[in-house]
Structure 1
Amino acid sequence: MDPSFGGPCQGIRNSTPELELLGCVNEIVCLDAPVAQYLDDEDLTVHALGQARGSWARHPDLIPWLRQNLSRFDVVIIHGLWQYASYAVTKVMRQLRGRSPSAKLPRVYVMPHGMLDPWFQNDPSRRVKAWRNWIYWKLIEHRTISNAESLLFTCQKELELARLPFRPYRPKQEINVGYGVANPPTESLSMKRAFAESCPHFIDQPYLLFLSRLHPKKGVDLLIQAYARWVKQETIGEKIPTLIIAGPTDSDYAHAMQRLAASHELLGEQNSPSREPRIIFSGMLQGDAKWGAFYGCEAFVLPSHQENFGIAIVEALACCKPVLISDQVNICTEIAQDGAGLVCPDTLDGTTALLNQWQAKSPEQRALMGQAAKDCFENHFRIKTAAKSLLDAISRDPKLNPSRA
């Protein structure tokens, strides 16, 4: 449930309260330290068994917990693949069926969250990981898929792409349940203050916002290089907006991106008004600071090489902010059709085109695009709609009335 790990855990936080309102009681078992600070304010029922160990995210207490507790539930949803949790659920279900074939056991569903996207197998920088995944699929993970009652997808494009990279691929059923976020909190002065405190080097002026993990698939390098090109085109009287890059900065990749920005002389110099930063790495923003960043930006930008859904994209739409995204974002079709943003290829030229096209928009066109962004959110990505769709999907068996998941 560590928020720095990205979308799936935030999706659980978004959907669970809505499922509860529909009468579906939820419990979450996760491999986090029970004393983790990010669990302190959780309103959800969370069983944190201890910090996961190693790249497989293993913990010795998970299988015993599952053996003791699985029979309490009507439905189990595995969020994500390739780690110990999916293996553990599949193993325990097989053991419980073997011991008592007539025992009441939950129906198991899998929500891949984009982890079956072919990009992960095709990207040249991931050749070793691609071979590892292929072997793991053949030995273990295909059983997770074939034994599940259904795979649950966040959008139609994710469902279709999941069919491409692996064989055998034999899910019993595939369901596009959709995905969404809650309505954002109302904009307030406290949000603006929180953002300013989290980003002390920022002077109040127009800015574009990148808010996501700093990871190679997010296209951060393309964005920095395209922005450097954009700044060189700056003319007197038409200042280029600042670029805020919001995400954890403690990884090797994040450090490399900071060096890349510095190599283009975009980080500025402290105590030098003439060399103010054009790019600011704010670190991870949460709570009021995050919403302050969304509400204050001109537009949200994310030139991903692969994006399953993009919770931050939808949060920006909900705040009436146009989104500048690549055509590798799985919900780009809905956004383009609704006029809620701009879409270009996930290349340096494509990302440069995104920025240039935004600059060419008049204030009136930008305002209309902002309203279209809000309409796009309301039409496609409301969490109430997605939660109802999810509950309908896991309730399709007339013998089942899931009250605990």
Structure 2
Amino acid sequence: MRILQVTPCYIPAYRYGGPVKSVHELSRTLVKKGVDVTVFTTNANGPTNLNVPTDSELLLDGVKVHYFPVQKPRSYFFSLSLSKALKRQIRTFDIVHINWLYVHPTMAAARECFRQGVPYLLAPRGMLDSNAIAMKGSLKKRLYLNLIEREHLTRAERVHFTSDGERNGAISVKWQVQPVIVSNGLDFEQLDQPHDSTLFYKRFPEVAGKKLALCLGRLNYIKGLDLMAKAWPSVVQAVPESHLVLVGPDENGYSKKIRRWLYEGGVGDSVTLTGLLLGEEKNAALKAADVFVASSHLESFGMAIVEAMAFRKAVVVTDRVNISFYIKKAKAGLVVPCDASKLSEAIISLMKNPQERVAMGERGLRLVREKYTWDRAAEEMLQVYRTVLANGNQP
């Protein structure tokens, strides 16, 4: 079976968040199962380009990756050479798995699949969330969704969601699409290796001896860091040794707002913004944390939350996190509304109760091992591919 993954950005462009890594992890796990996987993507990396060849194929963990030059407008991930390659090569693949919405590679791939009769799946990666569209969707984006993406979605053999919550909250539930739910996962071969928090303490000595609340993700409004900034003064008042650690790349200067809010709340000295951490540095931060917090206004899946549970961390998440149902059911953490006072109460509760943190951490690890592994996700996705190829539009 030959699969083509089309995505606007790819590793190591981690600044774009979880989907960059999850597309690669799914692809490399499919390769382990004997699937021939190729990726068409761009060399975009925010305002700069990745240092990768754009005129030859790279082999990353067995995945054949073609990076094409990104052009203006960069936010649209426009790439004429990617379009031309799709036109030439798309019929050499059995099925195409398209990722993201509102970007040129998605439009180019979906239209070429339709023209040449190649079946495709479309994974919106949280971009169909009705709350997200209501919250930040410009008129231009709404028009694009209805005039262009709607056609791509209804023509897709399956629309790939990563959680029940993502599917149920998607605006496409009103349309005639065929949804399929295949979650993201983790690679326990990597996570089961020993990790040492000392690396984190050495780089950020101000956190030593503190009770750490860790947030991991891009620094933007969607991650609910406005709520976190409002909640944090109450946490510090109740547990003075508390320290907030924000791990992730800044987005559009949002970190300046966060710092201002925290200083206005009198707790500016009890926060560390680390920037983007990868590999063992990120693992060390997770190891050091006492509580993991996802104060998100929206979260289609929440890879960082799953990673935290794999590190046996008790989590506090909002009910806008689409896997919050499973976290609550497993008693792996506390689920709160998007309310600063409720958020602070939950964090304080766990900061003051180490035994409960340990118990929740163990339950979280069990949840992740049972439900969120890449081996399981790849097997489920492989079955979806087989069903599509064997039965066309039959669910």
Q: Aligning the two structures, in what range does the TM-score lie when normalised by the shorter sequence?
A: 0.7 to 0.9
Query: Aligned runs of 1:110-259 on 2, under 5 Å?
Result: 110-123=122-135, 126=136, 129-163=137-171, 169-171=175-177, 173-183=178-188, 184-186=190-192, 188=194, 191-234=196-239, 239-249=240-250, 251-259=252-260
Q: CA deviation at 1:38?
A: 8.3
Measure, in 1, the Cα distance between the counterparts of 2:260 and 2:286.
25
AA paired with 2:208?
A: I
AA paired with 1:160?
A: N
Q: CA deviation at 1:164?
A: 5.8
Measure, in 2, the Cα distance between the counterparts of 1:137 and 1:346.
27
Q: Which moved more, 1:147-156 or 1:131-140?
A: 131-140
In structure 1, the residue matched to 2:323 is 331
Q: 1:376 aligns with which of 367, 371, 376?
A: 367
Deviations 1:256-277 (A, max 9, x none): 1122222233333xxxxxxxxx
Q: Which 5+ residue runs of structure 2 have no aligned equivalent?
A: 1-9
Measure, in 2, the Cα distance between the counterparts of 1:155 and 1:365.
27
AA paired with 2:365?
A: K
SS at match of 1:152: strand
Measure, in 2, the Cα distance between the counterparts of 1:25 and 1:41.
12
In structure 2, the residue matched to 1:108 is 120
SS at match of 1:77: strand
TM-score relative to the length of structure 2: 0.87
Whether contact under 8 Å (1:187, 1:292) holds in the other structure is no
Q: Which 5+ residue runs of structure 1 have no aligned equivalent?
A: 97-104, 269-277
In structure 2, the residue matched to 1:21 is 32
Measure, in 1, the Cα distance between the counterparts of 2:236 and 2:87.
58
Residue 50 of structure 2 is aligned to residue 36 of structure 1:
yes
Residue 61 of structure 2 is aligned to residue 60 of structure 1:
no
Measure, in 1, the Cα distance between the counterparts of 2:144 and 2:220.
23
Q: 1:302 aligns with which of 294, 305, 308?
A: 294
Whether contact under 8 Å (2:113, 2:119) holds in the other structure is no
Closer, same or farther: CA 346–250 of 1 in aligned 2, 3 Å: closer
Measure, in 1, the Cα distance between the counterparts of 2:272 and 2:176.
46
Measure, in 2, the Cα distance between the counterparts of 1:152 and 1:141.
14
Closer, same or farther: CA 352–192 of 1 in aligned 2, 3 Å: closer
The number of equivalent residue pairs is: 371
Q: 1:391 aligns with which of 382, 387, 391?
A: 382
SS at match of 1:329: coil
Whether contact under 8 Å (2:238, 2:348) holds in the other structure is no
SS at match of 2:387: coil
In structure 2, the residue matched to 1:272 is none
SS at match of 2:36: coil
AA paired with 2:228?
A: L
Whether contact under 8 Å (2:291, 2:347) holds in the other structure is no
Measure, in 2, the Cα distance between the counterparts of 1:42 and 1:250.
28
Residue 307 of structure 2 is aligned to residue 315 of structure 1:
yes
Whether contact under 8 Å (2:59, 2:65) holds in the other structure is no
SS at match of 1:151: strand
Query: Aligned runs of 1:64-83 on 2, under 5 Å?
Result: 64-83=84-103
AA paired with 1:10?
A: K
In structure 1, the residue matched to 2:69 is 50
